Amino acid sequence: MKRVLVVGCAGAGKSTVAKELAEITGLPLIHLDRHYWLPGWEEPSRDAWRVVVESLSAQPEWIMDGTYSGTLQQRLARADTIIHLDYPTWCYLWRVILRTARGLGEIRGNELGPGCPERFDWQFLRYVIRYRRDHRERDLARMSGFSGKVYRFTTPSALASFVKLQRERLCSGKRSA
């Protein structure tokens, strides 16, 4: 486990688990949201974003969180492990609402770029509600040919058990899953 992609819908907890795994493994942490969003929630051009993703994914080791379907294939080509958080819609929605309410107007740690305070966004909320229906199958299809190790979690408790196991393995002197 040297190049780990953590993917799933917004609100799944990708950034949280990526941070935990980076602490456990010592691998460098890359929050894609931090590199994607420009101040004021501006989006980069597709070409500029592809260059950024190429540079980030070319690094020898990392844990990278974020789905960004348009560059998923590019990152899959470099990854050796996928951690897919595949929860029910209500779980994503609840977490996004809580995150938004708790942090409204504030910058979310190192996960987002400067000038991107937490905000309420109907379009984003609609995306979360419709993710399983409109986007999940596409993402699964893109991941289906992946030759590395895939860990798919359908409940937060299953993910918590996996993280606990990784922590125990580190304590016993093993680094990878």
Domains of the chain: 3-171 (3.40.50.300)
Q: Which of 147, 143, 177, 144 is nearest to 162 (CA)?
A: 177
**Residue 77 to residue 18: CA distance in whole angstroms:** 19
What per-residue confidence (pLDDT) applies to 113? 79
Written as six digits, the tokens of 51 are 């260059």
Q: What is the pLDDT of residue 111?
A: 84
Percent of the chain with pLDDT strictly greater than 70: 97
What is the C-alpha to C-alpha distance for residues 141 and 158, in angstroms, rounded to an integer? Answer: 23
Q: Is 14 exposed, middle or buried (0-12, 13-18, 19+ CB in 10 A)?
A: buried
Global pTM value: 0.91
pLDDT band at 175 (very low <50, low <70, confident <90, very high): low
Instruction: Say how many Å lie between the first and final Cα of the chain, rounded.
Output: 7
Tokens of 125: 């909320």
